[in-house]
Amino acid sequence: MATVTYDQATRVYPGADTPAVDKLDIEIEDGEFLVLVGPSGCGKSTSLRMLAGLEDVNEGNIRIGDRDVTHLPPKDRDIAMVFQNYALYPHMSVADNMGFALKIAGVPKTEIRAKVEDAAKILDLTDYLGRKPKALSGGQRQRVAMGRAIVREPQVFLMDEPLSNLDAKLRVQTRTQIAGLQRRLGITTVYVTHDQVEAMTMGDRVAVLKDGLLQQVDTPRHMYDRPANLFVAGFIGSPAMNLVEVPITDGGVKFGNSVVPVERDALATAADKGDTTVTVGVRPEHFDLVNGEGTGGAKTLSKDEHAGLAVTVNVVEELGADGYIYGTAEISGDSRDVVVRVSGRNVPEKGSTVHVVPRGGETHVFSTSSGERLSD
């Protein structure tokens, strides 16, 4: 087992103007499950392949434990990689597929057999050891690919979208199995996905990449509660955080009819940049309906009735426990899309208007110009 360190690691593909991975700095702990996530083309696979030794590192270093592996060939790095397409040998049985790397390494047959049987037990593949890959389901093939990595008892597992060939239900099951297995084996793992839900549910920590640049590396909880910039705020969470550009007013920002208080320091930082607006983020579950609107009961009209932000309900999504309303609101003279989570018991009707206020302490403030987080 070992730590993994990306130290200013950079990859520029021949002929490219910009690096595919730009000065990547991450320290992965021994036994940690780190997920690399980001949109297509952001450099996830390149980062993984640099660690595997399948891609040159043009600047910086990569270390596994105390070993500088930057220029070592893949076979000397003590890693095992699971690819998206599994890459099983079709003419070999499951057992031979799983033991192949050990056979190449000259491990005695009886030892290989014992290791393969152990791994098969862990992965629930004992009954399939004699079969060829084509006679397996997608999920079983995926487990064989895992088994092939496990028998090698590497210092580090690398996985590049290993679940993307599975259907939605199997993907959810398998991600729990992989995360559980990794925890039991305690092998440091770097896992690539473009799916933020997968990242948030599997990772001890999550690293978000965009255009080859690391945006934030954090625990799922902290990433969700304190996104470091506008990109992470919009990328992590589903439905996405509402992000609206609003003018700065005295002591806060104007959000529809309400003034959202914002820390002085944050406003001062924005003003220092010459910004007259900031971008406020509110997650769908952090809006409260004014006066219990949408609860279906008789409404008491009060002077606060029209406080908050008026949202016209366009679409209602009922998910049982929760509901989401997709609506539009007039904010600073523009019509904006707004998503609000409501109780599934009483969802407002399509076409109605509800008034919402952001819950105190649950708003995020970002610089509109740089995207960086301004609030605490």
Ligand X SMILES: Nc1ncnc2c1ncn2[C@@H]1O[C@H](COP(=O)(O)OP(=O)(O)OP(=O)(O)O)[C@@H](O)[C@H]1O
Between residues 45 and 375, which has the closer beta carbon with respect to Mg ion?
Answer: 45
Between residues 6 and 128, which has the closer beta carbon with respect to ligand X?
Answer: 6
Closest approach of ligand X to the CB of residue 180, in Å? 25
Residue of closest CB approach to Mg ion:
45
DSSP string, 341-362: EEETTSPPPTT-EEEEEEPTT-
Percentages of the chain per state (helix, strand, coil), in multiples of 5? 30, 35, 40
Q: CA–CA distance from 288 to each of 293, 310, 341 (Å)?
A: 9, 12, 9
For residue 88, which of 79, 77, 99 has the smallest C-alpha distance?
A: 99
- Decide: is 368 part of the binding site for ligand X (CB under 6 A): no
Burial class (CB in 10 A: 0-12, 13-18, 19+), 180: exposed
Judged by CB under 6 A, the stretch of 25-33, 36-44, 174-182, 294-302 that binds ligand X is: 36-44
Between residues 43 and 203, which has the closer beta carbon with respect to ligand X?
Answer: 43
Altogether, the residues listed in the chain come to a count of 376
Letters for 110-149 (x = contact with ligand X by CB under 6 A, - = none) are ----------------------------------------
Q: Which of residues 46-75 bind ligand X (CB under 6 A)?
A: 46
Q: CA–CA distance from 174 to each of 140, 168, 192 (Å)?
A: 10, 10, 15
> What is residue 69's three-state secondary structure?
coil
- Decide: is 41 part of the binding site for ligand X (CB under 6 A): yes
- Decide: is 44 part of the binding site for ligand X (CB under 6 A): yes
Task: List the helix and strand counts (H, then E) for the chain.
Answer: 9, 20
Contacts for 291-299: CB closer than 8 Å, 24+ residues apart: 291/355, 293/348, 293/354, 293/355, 294/342, 294/346, 294/347, 294/348, 294/352, 294/354, 295/343, 295/346, 296/346
93-112 b/e with 16+ CB inside 10 Å = b? bbbbbbbbbbeeeeeeeeeb
- Decide: is 43 part of the binding site for ligand X (CB under 6 A): yes
Between residues 36 and 253, which has the closer beta carbon with respect to Mg ion?
Answer: 36
Between residues 160 and 218, which has the closer beta carbon with respect to Mg ion?
Answer: 160
Among 23, 194, 210, 254, binds ligand X (CB under 6 A): 194
Cα–Cα distance for residue pair 188/161, rounded to 1 Å: 17
Cα–Cα distance for residue pair 226/13, rounded to 1 Å: 33
- Decide: is 326 part of the binding site for ligand X (CB under 6 A): no
13 binds, among Mg ion, ligand X, none (CB under 5 to 8 A by kind): ligand X
Between residues 40 and 276, which has the closer beta carbon with respect to ligand X?
Answer: 40
40 binds, among Mg ion, ligand X, none (CB under 5 to 8 A by kind): ligand X
Between residues 16 and 268, which has the closer beta carbon with respect to ligand X?
Answer: 16
Judged by CB under 6 A, the stretch of 33-41, 253-261, 306-314, 320-328 that binds ligand X is: 33-41
Closest approach of ligand X to the CB of residue 62, in Å? 15
Closest approach of ligand X to the CB of residue 199, in Å? 12
Between residues 17 and 66, which has the closer beta carbon with respect to ligand X?
Answer: 17
What token pair was written down for 120? 């098969």
Q: Give me the residues that bind Mg ion (CB under 5 A), please.
A: 45
Closest approach of ligand X to the CB of residue 181, in Å? 23
Residues near ligand X, by CB under 6 A: 13, 16, 20, 38, 40-46, 194
